[in-house]
Amino acid sequence: MELLITALKISLVLAVFALGLSVTPRDLTYALRRPGELSRALLSMFVIMPTVAAVIAAGFDLTQSVEIALVALAVSPTPALQLRKAAKAGSTSYAVGVLAATSLLAIIWIPLSLEILELLFGIPLQIDLFRITGLVMATVLAPLGAGIAVRAWTPGFAHRAAAPCSKLASVTLLICLIPVLIVMLRPMLSLVGNGTLAAIVGFTVVGLFAGHLLGGPSAENRNVLALFTISRHPGIALAIAQSNFPEQRLAMAAIVLCVVVSSVVSLPYLRWAKRHRPAAALAE
């Protein structure tokens, strides 16, 4: 299983690197130059989702593994899995700018959010800052920066390599996910019941609505923020679960279940966003 997790991380790195090959350093600072848009993104990704997860965990009679998964994912606001879909559904500059800014801020926000949850619920929660920093750097910031650097040095090569690298990332992710789902199928099915699916669907729908609403007047930005809001970093979530609840053997299965259900629930929104995307954007 550790080998499969490593392979999944590699596929995520490839996806982020491929995105970096198609953008510029100016895209990297897009959100920082627009504090209003960034503040709304932070509200959607950093505040609303942990609040929703806490409310669901308190209001539903869920197994502890599912509660842990929802909360751990909610406080892991680095959009890894939906990155390519979000970039295609909306503004690439906005997607890259929000990705870079929120990934940097997540290094500080994740430990802080765990402290807040510990004060609210009296459950000891912590995570090694260096572990979070390493995960964010290795899976998001470093490959994104590497892609941008390659584009700056050899724009012709970057233009030719971006699409194949993105496709390779998608194929690698799919190849890695299949054995993970096979291995996790029985544990995931054991978690279904007591409102588990309703809780995950509700978590996802609220996230899509919040992101779409807070994305601002631009339809492209709304699409990106909606997908970014529901897309969490499973590697960080798993690190949080393992650090605080090592005895919960089903925590990983619960995280995978949340990611799978959330991805399925987001499909109708993706189709709707594609139909309503401006014609000029579709022509790019």
Residue 6 lies in a domain: yes
Residue 281 lies in a domain: no
Instruction: Tell me: pLDDT of 283 over 50.
Output: no
Residue 9 lies in a domain: yes
Instruction: Tell me: pLDDT of 125 over 90.
Output: no
The span from the CA of 11 to the CA of 15, in Å, is 6
Cα dihedral 94, 97, 99, 102 in deg (nearest 10): -120
- Which pair of structure tokens corresponds to residue 189? 């099915």
Residue 210 lies in a domain: yes
Residue 27 belongs to domain spanning: 2-275
The domain that contains 250 carries what CATH number? 1.20.1530.20
* Mean pLDDT for the chain overall: 86
User: What pLDDT, on the 0 to 100 scale, is given for residue 212?
Assistant: 94
Residue 122 lies in a domain: yes
Query: Per residue in 98-136, is it b (16+ CB within 10 Å) or e — as a string?
Result: bbbbbbbbbbebbbebbeebeeeeeeebebeeeebeebb
Q: What is the 3-state secondary structure (H, E, C) of 82-142?
A: CHHHHHHHCCHHHHHHHHHHHHHHHHHHHHHHHHHHHHHHCCCCCCCHHHHHHHHHHHHHH
Question: What is the per-residue pLDDT across 151-210, written as a single tens digit (0 to 9) for each?
Answer: 999 999 998 998 888 888 888 878 877 887 888 889 999 998 888 999 999 999 999 999
Residue 282 lies in a domain: no
User: What pLDDT, on the 0 to 100 scale, is given for residue 193?
Assistant: 81
Q: How many domains does the chain have?
A: 1
Question: What is the per-residue pLDDT across 225-277, written as a single tens digit (0 to 9) for each?
Answer: 999 999 888 888 988 998 888 888 888 899 989 989 998 999 999 888 877 76
Helix (H, G, I), strand (E, B) or coil at 165: helix
Residue 241 lies in a domain: yes
Instruction: Tell me the chain's radius of gyration from C-alpha atoms.
Output: 18
% of the chain at pLDDT higher than 90: 39
Residue 280 lies in a domain: no
pTM of the predicted model as reported, rounded to 2 decimal places: 0.87
The span from the CA of 72 to the CA of 259, in Å, is 12
Question: What is the per-residue pLDDT across 39-62, written as a single tens digit (0 to 9) for each?
Answer: 999 999 999 999 999 899 888 888
- Which pair of structure tokens corresponds to residue 222? 């709304």
Instruction: Tell me: pLDDT of 282 over 80.
Output: no
